[in-house]
Structure 1
Amino acid sequence: MKVCILAPEFLPVWGGVGAYIVELVRHMPSKVDLHIVTPFRERIGHSRVSSGDYNFSEHFGSNVHIHFISRAFDTFFYNASFQHAVAKYVPKLVKEEKIDLIHSHTAHMPDLLLSFRKLRVPVVTTIHTTIKGQRQGTKSSGMTFGELDLSEKMTFLAYPILRLIESFYLTKPRYYITVSQWMKCQLLKDYPKMVSRRIFVIRNAVDVQIFSPSANTADKWFEDKNVILFTGRLIAAKGINVVIDSISEIIKMHENAYFVFIGPGNPIPYIKRLKSKGVSNSYYRFLGYVKDRKDLVSYYRSASVYVAPTFYENLPIRILEAMACGVPVIATNVCAIPEVIENGVEGILIQPGSARALINAISMLLEDESLRKELGRNARKKVEKHFNWKDAAHKTLNIYEHVLSGER
């Protein structure tokens, strides 16, 4: 079987879509020939990591073929040039390599223009998020327009046309994968013309062999600190401002509390907020994009608490990564997060937008080591059983085979 994966994000990973595609490719059985069509990312984060900094042969097997067809310099406009390049390049690739199936990913809609070409190849699209949901999350954050990331600003400005395009895209006859049951229900509610039996649910997953707890204290960072960790793009919808607004009170109650932020994006608006609240930079650090996965795992293992007070975010892979490392998670009870965390069992769920609720939850966990350990153990067990990439990749392959058998 030959599959073309349209990857608007790949390496370097700067979002959940990229993390999903990279792990799917890593865990797909080697009998599947994979052609990854993706933009070459020029820079990311303060370390300015690019696609050129990776040796792809070290990351993937010989069944994986990378096709760079455009360049990405930002987090929004690059997508239009990628859509155009896909429409020109993929028909040739399908013909020359005898591609059996195309796997696309949205809300990027990389095959938007390609859908106007008459290809006799079925398309499976994984829906990670929607433009409607992203805008709702950004709006709920309460951050000013000037504080937003470029992608969030442009989504606001171009929302009417983007929403119209998305509505057109999601009503095209094709097969869909959603990464949560919640998202499938939302799609059927918002787009009644979508056919339920053509929407498959395969929940997000994590590599439980790589993301795992460690008893080796030498493997940990910030030994003398209680680290409260946040990972992910520095965008308003992920609720990073709620974390920022909790710091001044937390450090008054817990002098050894230390907040670590990992992920690409502009930290300046958040640093300004902290300075305005009189918070010393000795209590926090923005690390930017972490290229080495081993370092990322070490940071998870060093954390006493992981926080994800998101306003909108389907089923976040970053939460699964923390859980796999045995770190107690505090997250909001929005979107599909309750599908992975039962409040008080695998983590703590709070209301979105409440710095007070986050402060109380962080303080409770920092004061109760036994509770932290219990939540961490339960979280690890849940992820191992229900959210591992080995199973998710095989389920995805089963869908490929199901779709192809229906097309014959």
Structure 2
Amino acid sequence: MIKEMKVLRVIARLNVGGPAKHVSWLSSGLDQKGWENTLVYGEVEENESDMEFFAREMGVRMVKLKSMARSISIKDDLRCLFEIYKLIQKIKPNIVHTHTSKAGFLGRIAAITYNITHQRKIKIIHTFHGHTFQGYFSRPKERLFLLIERILGRFSDKIITISEQQYKEILETYKVGHPANHQIVKLGIDTSFANSLQRNSFRKDFKIAEDQKIFGIVGRIAPIKNHTLFLQSIADFNRIHTSKKTVFVIIGDGEPDLVAGLKKQTHDLGIDNLIFAGNQSNPSYFYGGIDFLVLTSLNEGTPVSILEAFACGIPVVSTNVGGVPDLIINNERGILIPSGDLKGLVNAYESLLVNDNTQIINQAKTYVVQNYSVTALVDSIDKMYRVLLND
């Protein structure tokens, strides 16, 4: 029998996105199963929206470290490493479970150091929500981060990937960890908001007519999301369809320079049917407004926006990257296009506009309900923790 059930969970920041929701649902759900979770997190970057409120509303026990930031700083990172180490000393968790790359590095180094200095065996787990081995940094940096992950993988009791495709990438392509310490645990999402979609509020606020169709891209604005492809596709679409019965929306925000660059590109391309809606915190509001979801990313884990769109009955077109093909398998639950395929994206818009999408909508709804519940996520992690501690 396990006497103590303490978990120190570490994530770089609680910015808008899937990982912040994931750790909040997970921490809250595991608390109800008898675990004592402490969520350690850092500062969001300037112009990122903070989802700290989401975790607090769920009653999650939280510790914020100002030294924890996404950007690399030797001084702050060393300070953060020391602060996590001191928290481990104070809380004495059975498990340190890290999420996202930066937190995975600092949190695991702190736990490894504690195990060595205290001759204890805290179990160490890391979840890959995505990875930084391609598309984020220069090639030398990517090689360095991959080497670090390979080393840390040797000290991790479990490496969690969130899809079959990601499992193959991390283990087989990038050689991180070994089969015995890998486990696939699918994300869990709360889809209850999809039962109360606000069908007209978003359109009314942004002055979009009822007979206009809306293609929306949801998520933070960052180079890896490749919003440039989205803009190019709108320009090409508009050259073919001049009636302006279709509107495009970017829901999310990012660094001011990136946003300004996209707005300039929008002007240069002569696009007048694109709305920058900024960050929106109420999914019932913005998913209630859009007709189709677009994802143009260069790299992804398992995008929560796709799962949320599935639950809402919104057809999806996405680039074939990361864990996306596990969701939209053989175009059964949406449309997949090759990464960077401008013509394919425009063709997908036309296909979704003219075809009956009932079959893919129904298949997608059934799939997300059966495979991505928060209950299933919490049960899977609870079982994993108990098995590890009983080894």
Q: Using structure 1 for the length normalisation, give the TM-score.
A: 0.82
By how many angstroms is 1:308 displaced?
0.8
Matches within 5 A, 1:149-168: 152=136, 155=138, 158-168=141-151
User: Cα distance 1:223–1:279, how it changes in 2: closer, same or farther (>3 A)?
Assistant: closer
Q: Which amino acid aligns with 1:318?
A: S
Q: Secondary structure at the match of 1:206?
A: coil
Residue of structure 2 in register with 1:3 after alignment: 7
- For residue 117 of structure 1, give the secondary structure of its aligned residue in structure 2: helix
Letter in 1 for 2:296: P
SS at structure 2 position matched to 1:393: helix
- Which stretch of the first structure deviates more once superposed, 349-358 or 213-222? 213-222
Of 22, 37, 42 in structure 1, the residue corresponding to residue 40 of structure 2 is 37
Aligned residues of 1:267 and 1:286 also touching (Cα < 8 A): no
Preserved CA contact (<8 Å) 1:24 1:393: yes
Match of 2:58 in 1: 60
Is the contact made by 1:205 and 1:320 (CA closer than 8 Å) also made in structure 2? no
Cross-structure match for 2:181: 198
Q: Select the residue among 372, 379, 385 that pairs with 2:370.
A: 385
Match of 1:139 in 2: none
**1:146 paired residue number:** none
Of 248, 262, 280, 2:251 maps to 262
SS of residue in 2 equivalent to 1:396: helix
Aligned residue in 2 for 1:148? none
Superposed, which structure 2 residues align to 1:217-256 within 5 Å?
A: 217-218=199-200, 220-221=202-203, 222-224=208-210, 225-252=212-239, 253=241, 255-256=244-245
Please point out which of 84, 98, 111 is paired with 2:107.
Answer: 111
Letter in 2 for 1:261: I
Structure 1 CA distance for aligned equivalents of residues 27 and 279 of structure 2: 21
Q: Percent identity?
A: 21
**CA positional deviation for 1:218:** 4.2
- Contact 2:190/2:373 (CA < 8 Å) preserved in 1? yes
Supply the distance in 2 between the matched residues of 1:289 and 1:157 (Cα, whole angstroms): 33
Q: 18, 21, 24: which is aligned to 1:19? A: 21
- The 3 A distance-change label for structure 1 pair 76 and 160 is same
Question: Unaligned regions of 5+ residues in structure 2, if any?
Answer: none
Q: Structure 2: which amino acid aligns with 1:124?
A: I
Secondary structure at the residue paired with 2:192? coil
Contact 1:125 1:175 in 2 (8 A): yes
**Distance in 1 separating the partners of 2:216 and 2:236:** 16
Contact 1:83 1:111 in 2 (8 A): no
Q: Distance in 2 between matches of 1:90 and 1:75?
A: 16
Distance 2:197 2:148 in 1: 50
Return the letter of the residue paired with 1:162.
F
Computed over aligned residues only, the root mean square deviation of the Cα atoms, in angstroms, reads 2.6
Q: Distance in 2 between matches of 1:125 and 1:386?
A: 22
Q: Is 1:70 the equivalent of 2:66?
A: yes
Letter in 2 for 1:3: V
The 3-state SS of whatever aligns with 1:303 is coil
Corresponding position: 1:355 with 2:342? yes
- 1:273 is matched with 265
Q: CA deviation at 1:359?
A: 0.7
Aligned counterparts, 1:137-216, within 5 A: 152=136, 155=138, 158-190=141-173, 192=175, 194-210=177-193, 212=194, 214=196
**Secondary structure, in 3 states, of the residue corresponding to 2:287?**
helix
Alpha-carbon distance, 1:129 to partner: 2.4
The AA in structure 2 aligned to 1:208 is T
Residue 375 (structure 1) aligns with: 360
CA distance in 2: counterparts of 1:56 and 1:193, whole angstroms: 30
**Paired residue for 1:288?**
278
Give the distance between the partners of 2:199 and 2:151, measured in 1 at CA: 53
The answer to whether the 8 A contact 1:5-1:37 is kept is: yes
Q: Is the 8 A contact 1:40 1:51 kept in 2?
A: no
Cα distance change on mapping 1:366 and 1:26 into 2, 3 Å: farther
Structure 2 match to 1:144: none
Measure, in 1, the Cα distance between the counterparts of 2:140 and 2:17: 22
- What SS does the corresponding residue of 1:70 show, helix, strand or coil? coil
Aligned residues: 369
- How far apart are the structure 2 equivalents of 1:157 and 1:110? 20
Is 1:122 the equivalent of 2:131? Answer: no
Unaligned runs of 5+ in 1: 136-151
Distance 1:81 1:196, change over 3 A: farther
